[in-house]
């Protein structure tokens, strides 16, 4: 089984190949959710991947502290 490219790139970038993973859920107003969905479609990525890309710089900063 091969993982989608976005999942594999996230795993290699976060160093979590063997780390247990937990899900994060967000509640957004419908208008913001639609905006997020449109941006993900524009970039041709999943909404999850778009959120990961946006979160990564802050996670990197937190790991350095």
Cα separation, 7 vs 13, in Å, equals 10
- Whether 5 shows a pLDDT value over 70: the answer reads no
Q: DSSP code of 22?
A: -
* Tokens, residue 38: 């449109």
Question: What is the pLDDT confidence band of residue 2, given thresholds at 50, 70 and 90?
Answer: low
Give the mean pLDDT of 28-35: 98
**Which of 35, 44, 59, 32 has its CA nearest to residue 4?**
44
The answer for 26, left when phi > 0, alpha when psi is -120 to 50, beta otherwise, is: beta
Residue 52: pLDDT over 60: yes
Map out the domains of the chain as residue ranges: 30-65
């Amino acid at each position: 089984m091969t993982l989608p490219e976005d999942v594999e790139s996230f795993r290699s970038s976060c160093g979590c190949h063997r780390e247990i993973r937990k899900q994060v859920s967000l509640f957004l107003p419908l208008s913001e959710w639609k905006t997020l969905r449109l941006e993900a479609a524009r970039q041709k990525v999943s909404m999850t991947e778009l959120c990961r890309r946006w979160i990564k710089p802050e996670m990197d900063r937190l790991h350095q502290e």
